[in-house]
Amino acid sequence: MVPMLNVENLEAWYDHSHILQGVSLNVAAGEIVSIIGRNGAGKTTTLRAIMGLITKCKGSVTFDTAGDILMEPTHTRFRHGLGYVPEDSRIVPALTVRENLRLGLVSSEKKSQENAVIDRIAETFPRLKERLDQVAETLSGGERQMLAIARAIASTPKMIMLDEPSEGIMPVLVEEMFELFAKLKAQGTTILLVEQNVERVLGISDRTYIMDQGVIVHESPAAELLANEEIQDRYCSV
């Protein structure tokens, strides 16, 4: 199967710090693929480099039919169908939920179908459906994260990358969020997910990569890794 995303020997630097040192991974259409590992392993940097948010990179990032996008700007990657939700969700607090969702359509061909798209998103996110006219700054942390994800999928990306979506969120909303990811997969959304909640993310992933010190140190089906406590303890325990 030809991957939707194929990353080969990706290297990235922050100033003079060499963070990624030859990362290779792939994601097939319709998969949930997760990246796990300790803090500082390079997981967030990997997503940022794929999205074009790090200026000093080398290697290859091939996405869908667009070919190698490593030298393309972030907005072009977005137009190719690559979505991204950073750890700090970056919603606009003073706008309503509905207005934030509209922002996800600003550069989309679906702008003319705005009301229909928002209605569809609201059905996928029942908690947001009840709050469409509520100002975003009044939402809980988990609801804000859901809004950021909803805004990212409003333009119907081919693939969405999520960075630590459950960080700092109350357990009941974490459970709801992971159920949402499974629902998005069932609807055809491809997901690359960085997450610290190892047991929960392995439960919904098809495949998993473990990162340590800027390199991939393990790859396996998620169910296989879930049963391998020795590997989890070696690379993921604090």
**pLDDT tens-digit readout, 59-102:** 999 999 999 999 999 999 999 999 999 988 788 999 999 999 88
Report percent pLDDT > 90 for the chain.
Answer: 60
DSSP string, the chain: ---SEEEEEEEEEETTEEEEEEEEEEE-TT-EEEEE-STTSSHHHHHHHHHT--SEEEEEEEETTS-B-TTS-HHHHHHTTEEEE-SS----TTSBHHHHHHHTTTTSGGGGGHHHHHHHHHHH-HHHHTTTTSBGGGS-HHHHHHHHHHHHHTT--SEEEEESTTTT--HHHHHHHHHHHHHHHHTT-EEEEE-S-HHHHHHH-SEEEEEETTEEEEEEEHHHHHT-HHHHHHHT--
42-54 pLDDT per residue, tens: 999 999 999 999 9
Query: Quick check: 176 pLDDT over 80?
Result: yes
pLDDT of residue 76: 94
Where residue 177 falls among pLDDT bands split at 50, 70, 90? Answer: confident
pLDDT of residue 61: 97
Question: Could you give all domains of the chain from N- to C-terminal order, each with its CATH number?
Answer: 1-81+157-238 (3.40.50.300), 89-155 (no CATH)
Instruction: Compute the mean pLDDT over every residue in the chain, rounded to the nearest whole number.
Output: 90
pLDDT of residue 17: 92
The pTM of this model reads 0.91
Query: Quick check: 142 pLDDT over 90?
Result: no
Mean pLDDT (whole number) for 201-212: 95
Query: Quick check: 166 pLDDT over 60?
Result: yes
Query: Quick check: 107 pLDDT over 60?
Result: no
